[in-house]
A and B are shown apart, each in its own frame.
Chain A
Amino acid sequence: MKVIAAMSGGVDSAVAAARAVDLGYEVIGVHLALSSNPQKYRSGARGCCTIEDSHDARRAADIIGIPFYIWDMAEEFHDGVVEDFMTEYAAGRTPNPCLRCNEKIKFQAVLDRARALDFDAVVTGHYANMRETEFGRTMHRAVDPAKDQSYVLAVLNKQQLDGAIFPLGDSLKTGVRKEAKARGLYVANKPDSHDICFIPSGNNAGWLRDRLGSEVGPIVDEDGKKLGEHQGAYTYTIGQRRGLNLTVPASDGAPRYVLKIEPKTNTVVVGEHESLAVTGIEGDRAIWCGPVPSVGESLRGFAQVRAHGSPLACTYTTPDGSLISVDLDEPLYGLAAGQGLVIYDGDRVVGSATVSATR
Chain B
Amino acid sequence: MPIYFDHAATTPMVAPAVEAYQDAMLQIGNASSLHTFGRDARRRVEEARETIASVAHCEANEIIFTASGTESNNLAIKGLYWNAVSADPSRKVILISAIEHHAVMDPAEWLVEHEGAELILLPVLPTGEIDLVFLSNLVASRGSEIALIAVMHSNNEVGTIQPIDEVVEVAGDIPVHTDGVQSFTKVPFNFSKLGVTTATISAHKIGGPYGVAALLVKHGLDITPILHGGGQERDIRSGTLNTPGIVAFAAAAKYADTYRQQNAEKVNQVKSALKEEILLKIPDARFNGTGMDQLPGILSVTFPGTESDGLLLLLDGEEMATSTGSACSAGVQQASHVLIAMGLSARDARSSLRFSLSPSNTLADVKRLGEVIEGVVAKSRASMGYK
Contact = CB atoms under 8 A, between A and B. Distances in A.
Interface stretch (B72-80, B226-234, B323-331): B323-331
A51 B310 contact: no
A179 interface: no
Contacts of A116: 379-380, 382-384
Contacts of B328: 38-39
B379 A49 contact: no
Interface string A23-62: 0000010010100001100000000011101100010000
Nearest to B382: A116
B333 interface: yes
A70 B383 contact: no
A117 B332 contact: no
Contacts of A347: none
A54 B330 contact: yes
9 contacts: A28-B317, A31-B331, A38-B332, A39-B329, A39-B330, A58-B331, A70-B332, A72-B333, A112-B383
A4 to B, nearest CB: 10
Interface-central residue, A71, A72, A112, by most chain B CB under 10 Å: A72
A69 interface: yes
Main secondary structure of the interface of A (DSSP, over half): mixed
B309 interface: yes
A116 B378 CA distance: 9
A28 B310 CA distance: 13
A107 B362 CA distance: 42
A42 B383 CA distance: 32
A33 B330 contact: yes
Given A38-B328, A70-B332, A72-B332, A113 B309 contact: no
Given A39-B328, A67-B316, A117 B310 contact: yes
Interface string A253-275: 00000000000000000000000
Nearest to B327: A70
B310 to A, nearest CB: 6
Interface residues of A, number: 22
Interface string A6-36: 0000000000000000000000100101000
Interface residues of B, number: 19
B313 interface: yes
Given A38-B328, A67-B316, A71-B309, 18 more contacts: A33-B330, A33-B332, A38-B329, A39-B328, A39-B329, A51-B330, A54-B330, A54-B332, A67-B317, A70-B309, A72-B309, A112-B383, A113-B310, A113-B383, A116-B380, A117-B310, A117-B314, A117-B379
A118 interface: yes
B332 A28 contact: no
Contacts of B382: 116
B383 A49 contact: no
B165 to A, nearest CB: 38
B306 to A, nearest CB: 11
Interface string B314-344: 1011000000000111111100000000000
Nearest to A67: B316
Nearest to B310: A117
Nearest to A58: B331
A51 B329 CA distance: 6
B303 to A, nearest CB: 14
Interface in B157-193: none
Contacts of B331: 31, 33, 54, 58, 70
Nearest to A72: B332
Interface in B340-387: 379-380, 382-384
Contacts of A58: 331
B49 to A, nearest CB: 37
A7 to B, nearest CB: 12
Given A112-B383, A116-B383, A70 B314 contact: no
Nearest to B333: A72
Closest 4 CB pairs of A and B: A116-B383, A38-B330, A116-B382, A33-B332
B114 to A, nearest CB: 17
Interface string B238-269: 00000000000000000000000000000000
Contacts of A53: 330
A70 B310 contact: no
Nearest to A68: B331
A69 B310 CA distance: 10
A51 B328 CA distance: 9
Contacts of B384: 116
Contacts of A67: 313, 316-317
Contacts of A113: 310, 383
Interface string A62-95: 0000010111101000000000000000000000
Contacts of B330: 33, 38-39, 49-51, 53-54, 70
Contact of B333 (A39, A70, A112): A70
A51 B330 CA distance: 4
Contacts of A54: 330-332
Nearest to B381: A116
A117 B329 contact: no
Interface in B262-313: 309-310, 312-313
